[in-house]
């Protein structure tokens, strides 16, 4: 599904990712953990196509194609979805309108017919029900005056409606109460299938217990320094990243 | 490899198709260019006006001679040679005023069809009566019979002068006096046509009224005059739209609109202004120098101005309300977009005289390209206006590094217990919002238009429904070409 090979990334000529390698096969859920500032968000922004980040070397292949050749919107049309660490608010724009515009932009790009108001409504409502989101949120302005947790839930709602192929969730579980965390996990598990891959960026094992990823990677200073199964998350929680610094062997 | 994201630049806002930019090939009958008493006499003669009207015009003209164009606005205006302007131009076919739509030149009807304002019986806009003004004359008014059954008078100003002189004499110039300002005085001297509305006592106007202004002939000014009188207990909603062909020369549009609301009457006046804005280099476009004022004469009356201004090379207008009655309400809702080299200096005046009078001002300015957008507002509370209240909010949105937004709110409060609130903000269109939208599959143009539409929502939602759709589309078209 996704392969990064020796990818280096700069921001304003400061290197952030250094010869980064990652392979996420189709149908797998991978988690990325790592201390603040290790480059996790940078990775997700590069995958999304944020032009603030300069990719100085390496290759990123998505479904066998050069991802860097695609504009951010084309990546979305091709099934890439980034759940933002800090989702924006758009005052005056109805949540449903935003989501419907996004869905139809994708359908149009793929040569499919636009989704009409009725079937969209059903789609959005059933997605909201999956994650226990109050339908009133659908009618509100997009993320406007939403709490942090409500914004994250809204990211999951969009993910469910857009049915992407590769989902990257950047700290989707930060600042969530237990109910919201459950809801997010429900959303992820509802969408999980053999054709779809996930990258979950997180600091906490709790989400990983609910989702049970196939692999867990630990990132430090712009590189993956250790990989393992989901029990690695617990080990890290116990021993901290300091343990890793003295133990940077790939398992 | 992609380099650091360039901020939205001015070339993003390149020249955008102006769909209303076509010229109707039609023979017109014109007075020679120039401005003097003889021209004014000829205008009056062409229109077969009574002598009091001519005298009124001449008085305005003589006063105008003593005035100078205003220089206080934040505008760069190339001097206009008023002697090169044609002050009267009408389609030849209109010379012997057609008695019904069947007699109106098909070429003219086709023009309005093309503009999306069909006048003929079959295709008329449902629920909207239209007065169509072409250059200097009104060519047709639809739904006259339906309206007259309700006692509503909706006709051209020329017809009103002929058929309802007592109303015209009582109210014309009663809100905007002939010598009010340079452009209003000029309009009073040379105005050619416009719309007249009279809503009788306790009558709710059965449909939306609308005037569609079209400038067609070259070197022609359009100086229309609109007068709306709402008798006690009546209610009316009125909308104006405007377009002009693309021409390299600037054309002057200096209108005057007067509204009078008597006791408990309510007038809602909405404008979707899409005059030709000129090209990328700032060549051509309409100078839109307009005086609009409403008088809340009776207690508990209400006047509401809503404007969506996307066109014109230069806009100079301040739709205002004089809140003379007690517990009167004045509102001003505005969206003004300037792009390319457009300039707008617009806002409102709320003059509180009556006790308990209240006003609301919400202004949304959007600047893109090299556009310059100024909000200029004035809230005056007279010593008589105990309990007066005003709320003002003006927000500016900047798109790209070469445009400008300016705010000049003024307050003159002469009553100690008046409550005045003012909020203002200026923001650049947020790059992170654009990135977010793009990550969801919207292209940059869709993203900008979505964010701008959201920004304008408080205004769009007070427009009559059909026109809200039109305004949204107009905004979208105007924002096209913002893709890097
Ligand atoms: N826009 C930016 N400008 C400058 N430095 C940045 C920017 N974004 C991230 N960085 C720096 O890059 C490093 C990696 O950041 P980030 O990818 O956000 O880490 P993480 O998500 O793992 O906490 C940090 O040192 C951070 O300060
Ligand atoms: Mg981060």
SS3 track for chain A: CEEEEEEEEEECCEEEEEEEEEEECCCCEEEEECCCCCCHHHHHHHHHCCCCCEEEEEEEEECCEEHHHCCHHHHHHCCEEEECCCCCCEEEEEHHHHHHHHHHHHHHHCCCCCCCHHHHHHHHHHHHHHCCCCCHHHHCEECCCCCHHHHHHHHHHHHHHHCCCEEEEECCCCCCCHHHHHHHHHHHHHHCCCCCEEEEECCCHHHHHHHCCCEEEEEECCEEEEEECCHHHHHHHHHHHHHHHCCCCCC
- Each residue's pLDDT tens digit, A201-215: 998 889 999 999 999
Q: Which atom of ligand 1 is nearest to the CA of A36?
A: 23
Q: Does pLDDT of B3 surpass 50?
A: no
Identify the pLDDT of residue B15: 42
For residue A154, list chain B residues with Cβ-Cβ distance below 8 A.
none
DSSP secondary structure letters along B122-137: GGPPTTEEEEEEETTE
Mean pLDDT of A22-28: 97
Residue B85 has pLDDT above 90, yes or no: no
Q: Give the number of A-B residue pairs with CB atoms closer than 8 Å.
A: 87
CA-wise closest residue to B90 among B104, B73, B76: B104
User: Residue B127: its pLDDT value, please?
Assistant: 66
pLDDT(B11) > 70 = no
With cut-offs at 50, 70 and 90, classify the pLDDT of residue B391. very high
Check CB contact of B440 with chain A, cutoff 8 Å: yes
Q: Which of B259, B263, B253 is nearest to B238 (CA)?
A: B259
Strands B389-399 and B419-428, by their bridges, are parallel
Predicted pLDDT at A247:
62
Q: What is the pLDDT of residue B211?
A: 84
Among B81-85, B315-319, B404-408, the least confident range: B81-85
Q: How confident is the model at residue A98 (pLDDT cuts 50, 70, 90)?
A: very high
Q: How far is the CA of A68 from the centre of ligand 1 (A)?
A: 20
Residue A65: its pLDDT value, please? Answer: 94
Q: Residue B17 — very low, low, confident or very high, per pLDDT cuts 50/70/90?
A: low
Q: Which residues contact A5 (CB under 8 A, 6 or more apart)?
A: A21, A58, A59, A60, A61
Residue B276's pLDDT is: 81
**ipTM value for the complex:** 0.96
The mean of the pLDDT values for chain A is: 93
Residue A52 has pLDDT above 80, yes or no: yes
- Give me the pLDDT at residue A250, please: 45
- pLDDT (average), residues B453-478: 83
Work out the mean pLDDT of chain B and round it to a whole number: 85
Of the candidate ranges A108-112, B183-187, B191-195, B217-221, the one whose mean pLDDT is the lowest: B217-221
Q: Are B420 and B381 in contact (CB under 8 A)?
A: yes
Atom of ligand 1 minimally distant from the CA of A43:
17
pLDDT attached to residue B99 = 64
pLDDT at position B7 over 60: no
pLDDT recorded at residue B313 = 87
Per-residue pLDDT reduced to its tens digit, B129-141: 777 777 766 766 7
CA A165 to CA A167: how far, in whole Å?
A: 6
Distance from CA of B426 to the nearest CA of A (A): 15
Which one is predicted more confidently, B484 or B252? B252
Residue B242 has pLDDT above 50, yes or no: yes
pLDDT of residue B142: 74
A70 contacts chain B (CB < 8 A): no
Predicted local distance difference test score (pLDDT) of residue B93: 67
What the block records as the tokens of B369 is: 């390209």
Instruction: Answer whether residue B457 shows pLDDT above 70.
Output: yes
Q: Considering CB atoms only, which of A55, A90, A109 is closest to B433?
A: A90
The pLDDT, as a whole number, for residue B483 is 39
pLDDT in tens, B147-156: 889 999 999 8
Taken in order of first residue, the domains within chain A and their CATH numbers are: 2-244 (3.40.50.300)
Tell me if chain B has a CB within 8 Å of the CB of A93: yes
Confidence of residue B244 (pLDDT cuts 50, 70, 90): low
Q: What is the pLDDT of residue B95?
A: 64
User: Where residue B94 falls among pLDDT bands split at 50, 70, 90?
Assistant: low
A99: nearest CA in chain B?
B440
Least Cα separation, residue A83 to chain B (angstroms)? 9
Does A39 contact ligand 1 (Cβ within 6 A)? Answer: yes
- Give the pLDDT band of residue A246 (cuts 50, 70, 90): low
Residue of B nearest to A89 (CA): B433
Which residues of chain A does B450 touch, with a Cβ-Cβ cutoff of 8 Å? 90, 93, 98, 101
């Amino acid at each position: 599904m996704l392969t990064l090979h020796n990818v280096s990334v700069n921001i304003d000529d400061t290197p952030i990712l250094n010869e980064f390698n990652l392979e996420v096969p189709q149908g797998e859920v991978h988690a990325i953990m790592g201390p603040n500032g290790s480059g996790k968000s940078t990775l997700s922004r590069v995958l999304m196509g944020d032009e603030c980040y300069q990719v100085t070397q390496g290759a990123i292949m998505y479904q066998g194609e050069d991802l860097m050749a695609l504009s951010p919107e084309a990546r979305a049309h091709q099934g890439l979805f980034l759940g933002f660490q800090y989702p924006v608010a758009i005052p005056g724009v109805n949540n449903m309108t935003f989501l419907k515009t996004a869905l139809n932009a994708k359908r149009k790009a793929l040569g499919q017919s636009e989704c009409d108001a009725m079937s969209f409504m059903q789609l959005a409502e059933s997605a909201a029900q999956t994650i226990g989101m109050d339908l009133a949120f659908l009618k509100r302005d997009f993320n406007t005056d939403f709490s942090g947790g409500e914004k994250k839930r809204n990211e999951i709602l969009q993910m469910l409606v857009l049915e992407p192929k590769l989902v990257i969730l950047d700290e989707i579980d930060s600042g969530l109460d237990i109910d919201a965390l459950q809801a997010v996990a429900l959303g992820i598990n509802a969408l999980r299938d053999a054709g779809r891959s996930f990258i979950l960026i997180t600091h906490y094992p709790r989400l990983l217990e609910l989702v049970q990823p196939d692999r867990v990677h630990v990132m430090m200073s712009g590189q993956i320094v250790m990989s393992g199964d989901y029990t690695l998350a617990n080990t890290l929680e116990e021993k901290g990243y300091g343990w890793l610094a003295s133990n940077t062997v790939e398992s | 490899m992609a380099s650091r994201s360039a901020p939205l630049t001015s070339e993003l806002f390149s020249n955008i198709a102006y769909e209303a930019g076509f010229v109707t090939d039609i023979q017109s009958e014109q007075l020679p260019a120039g401005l003097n008493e003889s021209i004014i006499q000829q205008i009056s003669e062409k229109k077969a006006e009574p002598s009091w009207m001519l005298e009124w015009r001449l008085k305005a003209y003589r006063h105008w001679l003593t005035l100078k164009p205003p220089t206080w606005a934040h505008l760069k205006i190339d001097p206009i040679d008023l002697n090169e302007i044609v002050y009267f131009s009408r389609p030849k076919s209109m010379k012997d005023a057609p008695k019904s739509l069947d007699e109106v030149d098909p070429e003219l009807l086709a023009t309005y069809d093309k503009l999306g304002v069909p006048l003929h019986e079959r295709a008329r806009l449902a629920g909207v009566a239209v007065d169509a003004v072409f250059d200097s004359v009104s060519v047709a008014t639809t739904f006259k019979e339906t309206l007259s059954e309700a006692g509503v008078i909706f006709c051209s100003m020329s017809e009103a002068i002929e058929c309802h002189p007592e109303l015209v004499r009582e109210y014309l110039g009663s809100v905007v006096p002939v010598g009010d300002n340079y452009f209003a005085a000029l309009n009073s001297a040379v105005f050619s046509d416009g719309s007249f509305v009279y809503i009788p006592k306790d009558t709710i106007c059965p449909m939306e009224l609308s005037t569609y202004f079209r400038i067609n002939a070259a070197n022609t000014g359009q100086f229309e005059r609109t007068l709306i009188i709402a008798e006690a207990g009546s209610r009316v909603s009125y909308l104006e739209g405007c377009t002009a062909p693309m021409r390299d020369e600037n054309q002057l549009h200096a209108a005057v609109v007067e509204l009078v609301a008597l006791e408990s009457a309510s007038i809602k006046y909405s404008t979707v202004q899409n005059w030709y804005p000129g090209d990328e280099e700032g060549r051509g476009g309409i100078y839109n120098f307009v005086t609009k004022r409403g008088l809340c004469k009776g207690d508990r009356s209400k006047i509401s101005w809503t404007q969506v201004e996307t066109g014109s090379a230069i806009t100079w207008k301040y739709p205002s309300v004089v809140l003379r009655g007690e517990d009167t309400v004045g509102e001003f809702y505005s969206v003004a977009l300037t792009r390319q080299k457009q300039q707008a200096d617009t806002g409102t005046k709320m003059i509180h005289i009556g006790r308990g009078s209240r006003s609301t001002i919400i202004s949304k300015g959007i600047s893109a390209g090299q556009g310059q957008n100024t909000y200029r507002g004035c809230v005056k509370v007279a010593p008589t206006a105990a309990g007066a209240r005003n709320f003002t909010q003006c927000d500016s949105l900047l798109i790209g590094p070469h445009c400008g937004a300016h705010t000049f709110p003024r307050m003159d409060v002469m009553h100690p217990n008046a409550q005045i609130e003012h909020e203002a903000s200026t923001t650049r269109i947020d790059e992170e919002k654009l990135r977010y939208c793009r990550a969801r599959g919207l292209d940059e143009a869709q993203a900008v238009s979505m964010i701008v539409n959201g920004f304008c929502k408080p205004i769009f939602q007070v427009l009559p429904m059909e026109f809200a759709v039109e305004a949204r589309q107009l905004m979208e078209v105007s924002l096209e070409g913002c893709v890097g």
